[in-house]
Structure 1
Amino acid sequence: MIVTAVPPGAALRSGDGELHSIAWSDAPAYTSEPELVPPTGPLCVVHRDEHCVVVEKPAYLPTENTERIKDSVRARVEALLGADADVRIPHRLDWETSGLLVLALGSEAMRSLSMQFASRTVRKSYVADVVGAPPARLGTVRLPLSSDPDRRPRQRVDFGASGKPAVTEWAVERSTPHASRLVLRPETGRRHQLRMHCLALGCPIAGDGLYS
């Protein structure tokens, strides 16, 4: 883990082409079953053109349908745009997470957006309420991660051959000795990366029953 201290009040600089999402922090405990019901009704559309739609995804609504769940962001956008709409998913948010989600319209838009996410032209920003206070005002966590086969769906820090590089920039937005709000900017997209890296800082995400 690399932590670089900076003067109080410093913040990560923002730029064009960013997505700002809210990391989930209000679930009472982790569950693999979708027991918490998402809000009903149409999604809030933030942007729409001939290439893409940007919507506000509520917590507990999956990005796509599953075998058991037939309500999702994709299903609601398809209902909004009509049966002929070619809605595609270039990136995802966990079902517990709320935030902005971009959906591509057609194969060309899907190809372009997928390349932008893969090349990190689009940077994602998350805001997370965590327990405790980190050791500095700003820093970077570099800890490789892999799936924990004995405790699925948990991930683990893995410096061996199975570990995949995972890097997260973080900055304190506000803090008390007991709780803090962090801005998180993942440079990689590993499963549970932000949850694991916050835990490595000694500040698990509030309400995370899986890692806290």
Structure 2
Amino acid sequence: MRSILTAAQIEARLLYRDGLMLVLDKPAGLAVHAGPGGGDNLERYFSFLRFGLPRPPALAHRLDRDTSGCLVLGRHPKALRKLGKLFQEGKVEKVYWAVARGRPQQAEGRVDMPLKKLSTRNGGWHMVVAEDGQHAVTDYRLLGGTEELSWIECRPRTGRTHQIRVHLASLGCPILGDTQYGETPQQPLHLHSRSITLPLYPSRAPVSVTAPPPAHMLAALTACGYSQQQHEQQAQAGGTA
């Protein structure tokens, strides 16, 4: 299979590096690992990110194929165990940006709706809100918008599959490009893992990493009030967008 990313290109997407972990700016449209049907995936390029270690890094968590932004990798097994425990115990603060169709009734709030995976007739699957599903909670805040669109910050408190996508759709605000949960197939998914904060070292401040929004989201974000210069300055200063 032909490689799409070169060593220089994958290294250029590195947002953070230390002895335990790497944080990559994952491109939208690329799966993090190989699926049943094969195809290109991000794990194929991890050998370019060893930086002198005997083995490549590995995924500490996952993002959907069409979601961009902060993706954490552990550099060795001990680091992966430590990172896995932080994710499992809910100690990792994750912030996502979405541009959605419509506007939530409240400018901020919490969606507390259990989710369940259902198979479809064509052999696929999707997630639905169901009383017998897994506990799922997302906090959200409206950051800007137009008459038709909303720029929404989401902080998932659980890590269910497609959680933000289903929860926003349940508010009547399907994410742009999300054909699975209410949108028409006109553009890529407008969901971005904006930042991630991990209390990785007990004697230091938590590690906080921010990813710039991808090119395909910039037009919609700008229409909703996003100023790239303003928000990148806030991110560098450790502020919240």
User: Which residue of 1 is the match for residue 73 of structure 2?
Assistant: 103
8 Å CA contact 1:145, 1:156 repeated in 2: yes
Larger helix percent:
2
What is the aligned-residue identity percentage?
A: 34
1:157 aligns with 2:122: no
User: Which residue of 1 is the match for residue 158 of structure 2?
Assistant: 188
The code of the aligned residue for 1:142 comes to D
The code of the aligned residue for 2:107 comes to R
Using the size of structure 1 for normalisation, the TM-score is: 0.75
Segments of 5+ residues of structure 2 without an aligned counterpart are 183-241
Counterparts of 2:170 and 2:37 in 1: how far apart (Å)? Answer: 34
The code of the aligned residue for 1:66 comes to G
Using the size of structure 2 for normalisation, the TM-score is: 0.67
8 Å CA contact 1:128, 1:205 repeated in 2: yes
**Size of the alignment, in residue pairs?**
173
Residue of structure 1 aligned with 2:149, choices 157, 176, 179: 179
User: Which residue of 1 is the match for residue 181 of structure 2?
Assistant: 211
Counterparts of 2:5 and 2:75 in 1: how far apart (Å)? Answer: 23
1:60-99 alignment runs, 5 A limit? 60-69=29-38, 71-81=40-50, 84-99=54-69
Which whole-Å deviations, capped at 9, do the CAs of 1:3-31 have from their partners, x for residues lacking one?
xxxxxxxxxxxxxxxxxxxxxxxxxxxxx
Name the structure, 1 or 2, with higher relative contact order (CA <8 Å, separation 6+). Answer: 1
User: Which residue of 2 is the match for residue 140 of structure 1?
Assistant: 110
Q: Cα distance, 1:67 vs. partner? A: 4.7
The 4+ residue runs of structure 1 with deviation greater than 4 A are: none
Counterparts of 1:125 and 1:48 in 2: how far apart (Å)? Answer: 20
SS in 2 for 1:154: strand
How large is the RMSD of aligned CA atoms in angstroms?
2.0
